[in-house]
Amino acid sequence: MARYEQIASDLRDAIVRGDYPIGAQLPSEAELALRYSAARGTVRQAVALLAAEGLVGSRQGARRIVLGSERSQSFAELHSFAQWARSMGYRASGTVLSSRRRPCTPAEAVRLSLEPGEEVLAVLRLRRLDGEPVLVERTVYAGWIAPAVERLDPECESVTQELYESVGLVFAYGEHLIDAIAAGSEDARLLGVRRGSPLLRQRRTTTNQEGRPVECSDDRYRAGSVTFSIRNSTSANPLVRRAGD
Amino acid sequence: MARYEQIASDLRDAIVRGDYPIGAQLPSEAELALRYSAARGTVRQAVALLAAEGLVGSRQGARRIVLGSERSQSFAELHSFAQWARSMGYRASGTVLSSRRRPCTPAEAVRLSLEPGEEVLAVLRLRRLDGEPVLVERTVYAGWIAPAVERLDPECESVTQELYESVGLVFAYGEHLIDAIAAGSEDARLLGVRRGSPLLRQRRTTTNQEGRPVECSDDRYRAGSVTFSIRNSTSANPLVRRAGD
DNA sequence: TGCTCTGGCTTGTTTGTACAAGTTCGCCTA
DNA sequence: TAGGCGAACTTGTACAAACAAGCCAGAGCA
């Protein structure tokens, strides 16, 4: 772990613990540099991490202030249902309901950077939290990763982790579109809700470290089961609102 | 504009223009430093900006790669309905349906850092895009900003901008919770949809530059009218999933 | 042909220095 | 007392240098 990550971690713990309550000022960079025997640049990298997490805010000329005190665990949490559930203290399970190869649609070819008509693997999964069905996941995997996906246990808890362990695949980047839609008849049957009831939809495309698209997915959460949370500031945040499509 | 922002802007334009298509490699830091006659550290600040926007990804040892080519405009977009609408080419309008002072609830006291029972201003607004009602906004303003809000034109297009111009207020930080819910009877009437139809809900709390909470709001979008979008990577992103509350 | 391994390239981390720009607060004055 | 001024403090920007760590392709070997 890098020095600046250690410092960030230490400061984060102090904030979460309440040493620096919301609204309080953080020590100055100079003081932190002295305290940790590090250069000011290193301290700046540390607090930049906290700022990116939305825990602290800063303005030129004034001391940094604490904005929040809940820690969040970033990408892995957003991407892997199982990892997120585990860290929240839930027991996650899931079932593959269908899995078949087919030629990709033109839209999928664009999203996964494939040649038109190239083969993909379409998987329908139902995910549960503590036994309750909360998520219908319709995922399309690029052909080159399909064999590894097909080898997975249909009841496999964490696809992300299994793919990492079996073929060393790492999900590194993702784009996510979030909106609300009405449950279709299949959604309603699987989630145990009425047709037309509200669902939170997350459409995502994920790529590996080299920027090569791996999968795109349409995930539908039962209303009330999950909430997406974001902290942001005037300087740099990736969440934007888009017109309906 | 800082040197690193100029460099970032220049590179961003090149990416958007297609000089570096998706999947392509960016020049090395050393080469960019030479090209812009800047230190390597300055170049790193520039590409860090692009990485935060999700345009490029990087791994130690390998050249940076282009992940996307759409520019997004960050915080202002997320916060101000009017600014976002304008930048998307829509005509935004809005109407204040009710506005009254009342003592704050215990929950509001916590969210806005107020004393229990302190006075707040509750405003109900209906927002339209090109004349179509798309958003019901229930906002609670802290007492200290209430006078300025009450002076606003009820048909005021951009609250954010008006408050900046009248009292110099800047919305600097925000926390947002996004989920899906069914339309209540008031929501349904105002948005012109059936009761129980899906809405995208965004609950937010906003603070000024000093970290002082200004407002908290419950915004409900008609399904299909807007989509939230986020790009993320293994290193640092602020969006997380939370259990339903 | 197919494999390994190494050397050069590229990004990541850290330190140090200097100056610019904005904030804060106390002091002084009107 | 109210307001303005300025000095000290704090964060932002930029440069330079050095080493660590990971990637990749080409050379060399079996």
pLDDT, block means (10 residues), chain B with 245 residues: 96 96 96 97 96 92 92 69 87 94 95 91 96 96 93 91 86 92 97 96 93 94 91 69 61
Concatenated DSSP letters of A194-237: -TT-EEEEEEEEEE-TTS-EEEEEEEEEETTTEEEEEEEESS--
* Chain B residue nearest residue A67, CA to CA: B211
- The pLDDT assigned to A201 comes to 97
pLDDT at A135: 96
Give the number of other Cβ atoms within 10 Å of residue B130's Cβ. 11
- Token representation of residue B129: 């895009």
Q: What is the CATH number of the domain that holds B138?
A: 3.40.1410.10
Give the Å distances, CA to CA, from B164 to A93, B156, B158.
49, 13, 10
Average pLDDT score, chain A: 91
- Say yes or no: A79 and A144 in one domain: yes
Distance, CA of B74 to CA of A41 (rounded, Å) = 26
**SS3 at position B75:** helix
For A21-46, letters b (16+ CB in 10 Å) and e give ebeeebeebeebbeebebeeebbbbb
Tens of pLDDT, residue by residue over A7-58, are: 999 999 999 999 999 999 999 999 999 999 999 999 999 999 999 988 999 9
**Which positions in chain A touch B245 (Cβ < 8 Å)?**
227
For residues B17 and B11, give the distance between their C-alpha atoms in angstroms, rounded to a whole number: 10
Interatomic distance B209 CA / D17 C1' (Å): 37
A150: in domain: yes
Distances (CA, A) of B156 to B107, B161, B174: 28, 10, 22
Digit-coded pLDDT (tens) for A198-209: 999 999 999 998
B87/B139 same-domain check? yes
Q: What is the pLDDT of residue B86?
A: 86
Find out whether B66 and B18 touch, Cβ atoms under 8 Å.
no
- Per-residue pLDDT at B241: 64
User: Residue A235: inside a domain, yes or no?
Assistant: no
A61, A94: one domain: no
Q: How far is the CA of A79 from the C1' of C8 (A)?
A: 36
Residues in A closer than 8 angstroms to B199, CB to CB, are: 180, 198
Does residue B169 lie within any of the structural domains?
Answer: yes
Structural domain range at position B36: 3-66
Residue B87 shares a structural domain with residue B177: yes
Residues 19-78 of A with CB under 7 A from strand D: 26, 28-31, 41, 44, 58-64
Q: Nearest 5°: phi and psi at B166?
A: -85, -40
A137 in any annotated domain: yes
- Residue A226: its chain B contacts at CB < 8 A? 179, 241-244
Residue that the structure tokens 């540390």 belong to:
A46
Is the CB of B81 less than 7 A from some atom of nucleic acid strand D? Answer: no
Q: How far is the CA of B66 from the C1' of D23 (A)?
A: 17
A203 and A87 in one domain?
yes
pLDDT score for A237: 55
Tokens of B141: 């303003």
Model pLDDT, residue B205: 93
| Residue A52: CATH number of its domain | 1.10.10.10
Q: What is the pLDDT of residue A236?
A: 57
Q: How many domains does chain B have?
A: 2
Q: Which of residues 224-243 of B touch A (CB under 8 A)?
A: 224-243
